[in-house]
Amino acid sequence: MEIRQLRYFVGVVEAGSFTKAAGFLNVAQSALSLHVRQLEQGFGTQLLIRDRTGVSVTASGAKLLERARAILKEIRLTE
């Protein structure tokens, strides 16, 4: 797991879709999708439910989201 993957995951959740997050994060949508897929593979569970209207967070994704926000906050405080 990389810090970048956590940032991308949080960005996708907060934006509500990969498309909106790609614009917000200035990253290709395919790259976002790849990094979230890698997180899911690393954790061995689905973190997001993808559909035509955007994304929603699974129970596992909600747990990761809470921890990822805390980790990213700590990183910001130390920079």
**pLDDT score recorded for residue 79:** 77
Q: Are 3 and 75 in contact (CB under 8 A)?
A: yes
Question: What's the whole-model pTM score?
Answer: 0.91
**pLDDT score recorded for residue 37:** 95
Count other C-beta atoms under 10 Å from residue 60's C-beta.
15
Q: Are 35 and 4 in contact (CB under 8 A)?
A: yes
What confidence tens digit (pLDDT) does each residue in 31-58 have?
Answer: 999 999 999 999 999 999 999 999 999 9
Nearest residue to 8 via CA among 42, 44, 33: 33
Query: What's the CA gap between 38 and 45, in Å, rounded?
Result: 10
Give the three-state DSSP class for 24.
helix
Identify the CATH number of the domain in which residue 74 sits. 1.10.10.10
What's the domain count of the chain? 1
Its domain, for residue 73, covers: 3-78
**pLDDT score recorded for residue 40:** 95
